[in-house]
Structure 1
């Protein structure tokens, strides 16, 4: 992954080649001069402000995550430490895009966006309009911890520097060799049930099918009921993404889910209309029609999925970690299944620059320097410890050799460790601004992290970062992709569930072509060429 960071560095050199409508200078953030104009700011030490300050944050959350950030111990204690009281206005991730667009178009947006998954296109757009303030000067003066990370990994700095030269956001970054989090969603198989069935871990797609059939036809939990579910997840997309590598698809990583490079031609390939994508859908359709996929797959949400999983009734599932999400420790990660063409890749892996737009400060904020100091804390050693581990004697204990472990209350929570954590902390659900390291992210124990080694040799040789587009290009891309994505997603589910027969495939691909996919790919090609020329 360190190699991937080098690639990422090269990728964003291309941004200097962009001719952008956002070349118009964005207004400088208040207080970026030699001396802050904010009279309440303490430039160093704590509290951050000389008198109490209240800020309002638009904050994304997982639907199964903490319900009230304002009442969690982490934020109460941090408010005491800083003098800054943040009102976290929570928006479920499912509604995030809609609510964000509404806030920006109406002008009724907050002091900052936190855990907001803001795209680079929107960062460019609203930064150029002055609604997101540039952070460059404030990072140098008020964010020593974040600046240290940028100096350590220049690729990250280039990745969050927009074509106009400004940095408008604080990202979510994963430690480059922390595979357990870089590979977020992965397939797990119930090892106890493999043992009962006297079956080895599946190596091919056919093996996996045979295992799922055996789960369906065997009373593996011994309760006399046919309640075993061969495969479970949230939506059909999770298994689709995990199995793309078995068909040689998505070979540039998850920043490019729908476009990769066809190794036969070395040209860009639009995955949703490729014949191999059809084969993948046909495989999933076989699993679905034979009752090997949970009947609730298209409607189930994360809380219900976790609740089902805590009963230990899944033979296989896609999630982050069954041990933490569901309290189930009997699952193992298989090596990628070999597909019909001999492919056995695992391509569902993120780039270390996971969320470029995890946190932005808006022009509504009267205390931008104080807000910069507020967020910088979570890139410090102490801040990472508080954010992920909480407080000694309450949420964690320290061993004689200095290691930190969650308390028994959290580790032995019958609904899973994350449920125990959420009583005090708010990290479950992801997408927060910060730096995730093996040292403090204890949702992954060493044994679980080591399991990911089975995927190591099967990862993409080149993991592309997200491309950066000019304002004009991003507007065109968004217009084209909105309709394309809606149609493709809908038809993908229909093909998998059998609502649309595969005799309609040719009509489907023709419709995609009519929806100007060629124009979309031309824009993509331009960005890819800029990326390649920067290497």
Structure 2
């Protein structure tokens, strides 16, 4: 694959190219940075004379007051920068941020606001979002280091015009359990049934049948269930993609992978391999081996149901952490019907790109880029996720960090997310910054999840083969949106119909022709052009 060329010297070339491509707009933005002389190049405080900045953010817990929260209060003392926060709960985020932008009454910065690539390039080219390339080069050493270490991440955050308009969420590529993990199987049931862990998709099918029909819980009732999830059918399909030879370039462009032996895109949902995958899932569903409410249940409803311990296989995080159900271990990666054995639903670690943006109203862009960059270094990451020593966490003799019991076993009956949210903002998952195993206390950092990830790793797609997310021009974005909105709806409806049996697989050719008539060839052409442009 050509893209391996830029894994070395091209990292610096890409940085130079993106800066050159942004010169006109970035220079214009820098003229507004009249207070750059107030900014210290390194260390704390960030500015000599205190400043106040208007910020808008999404939050998960309504009870939080970000203008009186320990994280921001302490950071203000460190930096000399006070952020006057206006916050909205995540459910209302999209509507509120769009109203602010269209009405012109937007703040200096947006934090945890989850702008899409389309929004970044749109508002960036309108001049509302500042291009950040030169600021990153001069004022963001932590973030710049990440981009240099992981060129694929650099490629992903750089828009088609060469500019970076947002600081993203990054899941540390070294944090294996956040990147790849198989579903969980109840080991006790395997032992009672005299079964080994499945190695093939056929083994897996036979195992699920045995779990459902042969009373592994020993209560004399047929109340056992096979494979369950509360996050829709995609969580089943994605585990199996590599076993059916799909998505060998990773999951950053889920509808696309290369025709074998080429760098020419094909449309995954119309391939023969995708048909075979759906036929397999249809067999599981039609025999009651998948929870029958998978298309309608909510995560909360399924959590309550699965906590009863009736499922032999569960998607999502370790059931011991989520449901207090012990005895589950990670499944192996399965060999498919043609001998494929791979786990390909893996990203390059790049989450939402638009988690921190500066607008053309920012009076101190240099200071605020330094302010944000702190959370891409170890000290800032530790503070953001762990909080404050003696208040929220402690460090043992081995240099390991863990929350205090007041957080993990709260005396007021709060769960961990609720308890830590009295000090920090990360619960709920909306934030810019980098998630590192050393400072993250979620289920993925626990031993069982590490073992699961290690079991997957030999079959996980190699990092060099993961294609970054494609970045389109404004015009291309409009075209892709016009084509793919209807196609995605049709694929979702058809996938459900094929799996549930409402649509017979004899109609597969009609399904493919319908997608072709909806303009998928034009989408493939645009995607190919974006890829070829990236390669150059």
TM-score w.r.t. the length of structure 2 is 0.84
In the alignment, what sits opposite 2:271? 274
Go from structure 1 to structure 2 and tell me whether the alpha carbon gap of 1:388 and 1:226 turns closer, same or farther (over 3 Å shift): farther
Q: Where does residue 454 of structure 2 map in the other structure?
A: 453
- Whole-angstrom CA distance in 1 between matches of 2:512 and 2:224: 37
Q: Equivalent residues in 2 for 1:154-233 (5 A)?
A: 155-183=152-180, 186-221=182-217, 226-233=222-229
Listed as ranges, the matches of 1:305-316 within 5 Å are 305-316=302-313
Aligned position for 2:248: 251
For each residue in 1:251-277, what CA deviation from the matched residue of structure 2 results, as whole angstroms up to 9, or x when unmatched? 110112111013267642211111211
Question: Which shifted more, 422-431 or 201-210?
Answer: 422-431
Which has the higher mean CA deviation after the structures are superposed, 385-394 or 152-161? 152-161
Instruction: Show the counterpart of 1:492.
Output: 495
In structure 2, what is the equivalent of residue 433 of structure 1?
432
For 1:262 and 1:238, locate their aligned partners in 2 and report how far apart those are by CA, in whole Å. 24
> Aligned equivalents of 1:245 and 1:135: distance in 2?
37
CA distance in structure 2 between the partners assigned to 1:194 and 1:229 by the alignment = 14
Residue 90 of structure 2 aligns with which residue?
91
Alpha-carbon distance between aligned partners in 2 of 1:16 and 1:514, rounded to the nearest angstrom: 42
CA pair 126-70 structure 1, distance change in 2 beyond 3 A:
same
Q: Secondary structure at the match of 1:495?
A: helix
Instruction: Please list the CA deviations of residues 465-509 of structure 1 after superposition, one character each: whole Å capped at 9, or x if unmatched.
Output: 112222222221121111111111121122222333323322211
Structure 1 position 163, deviation (Å)? 3.8
Q: Matches of residues 237-386 of structure 1 in structure 2 within 5 Å?
A: 237-263=234-260, 267-386=264-383
- Secondary structure of the 2:294 match is coil
Deviation for aligned residue 1:77: 4.4
- Deviation per CA, 1:497-526, whole angstroms, max 9, x where unpaired? 233332332221111011011111111222
Aligned position for 1:511: 514
C-alpha RMSD of the superposition: 3.6
Does the CA-based 8 Å contact 2:268-2:274 persist in structure 1?
Answer: yes
Distance 1:487 1:155 in 2: 31
Query: What is the distance in 2 between the residues matched to 1:222 and 1:109?
Result: 61
Deviation at 1:168, TM superposition (A): 1.3
Structure 1 residues 430, 253: CA separation in 2 closer, same or farther (over 3 Å shift)? farther
Query: Is the contact made by 1:253 and 1:347 (CA closer than 8 Å) also made in structure 2?
Result: yes
C-alpha change, 1:285 and 1:76, in structure 2 (3 Å) is farther
CA distance in 2, matches of 1:190, 1:4: 40
CA deviation after TM superposition for structure 1 residue 447, in Å = 4.7
Kept in 2: contact 1:178–1:437 (CA 8 A): yes
Alpha-carbon distance in structure 2 between the residues aligned to 1:5 and 1:433: 29
Q: CA deviation at 1:181?
A: 1.3
C-alpha change, 1:498 and 1:70, in structure 2 (3 Å) is farther
Write the distance in 1 (CA, Å) between the matches of 2:86 and 2:40: 21
Stretches of structure 1 lacking an aligned partner (at least 5 in a row): none
Name the counterpart of 1:502.
505
Residue-pair matches, total: 520
| Residues 222 and 228 of structure 1, relative CA distance in 2, 3 Å threshold | same
Range that drifts further, 113-122 or 201-210: 113-122
The structure-2 alpha-carbon separation of the partners of 1:231 and 1:158, relative to structure 1 and needing over 3 Å to count, comes to closer
Taking the TM superposition and a 5 Å limit, the aligned residue runs for 1:50-65 are 50=49, 53=52, 55-59=54-58
Q: 1:489 to 1:103 in 2, by over 3 A?
A: farther
CA contact (8 A) 1:172 1:434 kept: yes
Instruction: Tell me if structure 2 keeps the 8 A contact 1:79–1:86.
Output: no
CA distance in 1, matches of 2:320, 2:438: 19
The 8 Å contact of residues 8 and 155 in structure 1, kept in 2 or not, is answered as: no
Offset, 1:236: 0.8
State which of 473, 477, 481 in structure 2 corresponds to 1:478: 481
Instruction: Name the CA distance, whole Å, in 2 between partners of 1:437 and 1:380.
Output: 10
Report the CA distance between 1:238 and its aligned residue: 1.1
CA distance in structure 1 between the aligned counterparts of 2:153 and 2:488, rounded to whole angstroms: 29
**Structure-2 change in CA distance of 1:401 and 1:171 (3 Å):** same
Shift of 1:37: 6.4
Aligned partner of 1:70 among 65, 68, 73: 65
Secondary structure in 1 matching 2:85:
strand
Q: Distance in 2 between matches of 1:4 and 1:309?
A: 43
Q: Deviations over 1:129-173 (max 9, x none)?
A: 111112234334443433343454455445423343432111222
